[in-house]
Amino acid sequence: MTVTCAAEFNAICTTCVPAHDAGGKLWFRLKRGAPSYTSPMKLLIVEDSARLSAALTSDFRREGFAVDHAGDGQAALGQIEAHEYDLVILDLMLPRVSGLEVLRALRASRAPTRVLVLSARDQTEDRVAALNLGADDYLVKPFDLSELKARTLALLRRRYGETSGVLAHGELTLDTNARLATVRGSPLPLTPKEYALLETLLRHRGRSFTRVALFERLYDGLSEASDRVVEVIVSTLRTKLASAGIRELIETRRGFGYRVP
């Protein structure tokens, strides 16, 4: 049953509505009419607010992102050291280690990870300090979730040098903004994971991904699935591509993994 938005949550995000499932568990959904997205990208959300982190993590996962969460700066440093992330959504006022220190350590590692600072600090000097340390964007709380997602997608496109949001391979086209695959202009119906895997391989044409590497990009750290699920996704994706006339797009390189040449 949907309940009235809590004032504490609405002060942070203006496009989510808290709700309870049949068991009384609190969760969050988008307000009616808010846009949705999906992506094969791996995100780390660094936020100490349990309500906000639960809302963001749940929503990004529902939209197809692989998302991990860290509730303090020390945990964030451990996650960044253990995993490769496409983007970090970073609060500044964190327990144990500040957001600026996390940002400084990330940039010292020379990782190509994009960083979007999401903070209640709204002074010019705060934004300047974060941007000078290497943040790619800065969004002040309270914020609109649709704007956060739009900024997230823009940073991910920028990381891979994309401008139009379109990936093409012969008669196959992916619109990464609409999250739509088409063959000769006709929609190719894919599950979120099939689409995510295909976008990953097209975005990195020529690069081989092992089964484990693809699993890391498609699933978050809390997933109980085996990395062998990647073989199933590749198989069903190949079948759908073949039925649309696209054969032998995804190569298997024994000992190296999968790639689109």
Tell me how crowded residue 204 is: count the other CB atoms within 10 A of its CB. Answer: 14
pLDDT grade for 171, boundaries at 50, 70 and 90:
very high
For range 151-177, the mean pLDDT: 82
**pLDDT of res. 40:** 56
Those residues whose C-beta lies under 8 Å from the C-beta of residue 2, and which sit 6 or more positions away, are 17, 19, 29
Tell whether 171 and 195 lie within a shared domain.
yes
Q: Give the DSSP per-residue string, 28-78.
A: EEEPTT------S-EEEEE---HHHHHHHHHHHHHTT-EEEEESSHHHHHH
Task: Report the pLDDT value the prediction gives residue 83, as an integer from 0 to 100.
Answer: 86
Domain boundary among 95, 128, 159: 159
Supply the mean pLDDT for the chain: 83
Q: How confident is the model at residue 216 (pLDDT cuts 50, 70, 90)?
A: confident
Q: What is the rounded average pLDDT of the residues 31-54?
A: 70
Same domain? For 135 and 182 the reply is no
Q: Is residue 2 part of a domain?
A: no
Quick check: is 1 in a domain? Answer: no
Q: Are residues 12 and 43 in the same domain?
A: yes
The pLDDT of residue 20 is above 70: no
Span 41-63, mean pLDDT? Answer: 90
What percent of the chain is predicted at pLDDT more than 70? Answer: 82
The CATH number of residue 174's host domain is 1.10.10.10
Task: State whether 35 and 74 are in the same domain.
Answer: yes
The pLDDT score that the predictor gives to residue 9 is 38
At residue 41, the pLDDT reads 77
Higher pLDDT, 146 or 65: 146
Residue range 98-141, pLDDT digits in tens? 999 999 999 999 888 999 999 999 999 999 999 999 999 999 99
Residues 200 and 235 occupy one common structural domain:
yes
Answer whether 67's CB lies under 8 Å from 60's CB.
Answer: yes
- φ, ψ (nearest 5 deg) of residue 56: -65, -45
Q: How many domains does the chain have?
A: 2
Q: Are residues 143 and 124 in the same domain?
A: yes
Q: How far is CA 85 from the centre of its chain?
A: 9
Choosing from 95, 129, 159, the residue where a domain stops is: 159
**Residue range 208-225: average pLDDT?**
84
Considering the domain architecture, whether residues 121 and 207 belong to the same structural domain is answered as no
Q: What is the pLDDT of residue 27?
A: 39
Domain that holds residue 209: 166-259
> 60: closest CA among 158, 196, 169, 182?
196
Comparing 9-18, 40-49, 86-95, 231-240, the range with the smallest average pLDDT is: 9-18
Q: What is the pLDDT of residue 154?
A: 86
Tell me: do 113 and 180 sit in the same domain: no
Question: What whole-number distance in Å separates Cα of residue 145 and Cα of residue 31?
Answer: 10
Query: Are residues 15 and 86 located together in one domain of the fold?
Result: yes
Domain stops at, among 120, 137, 159: 159
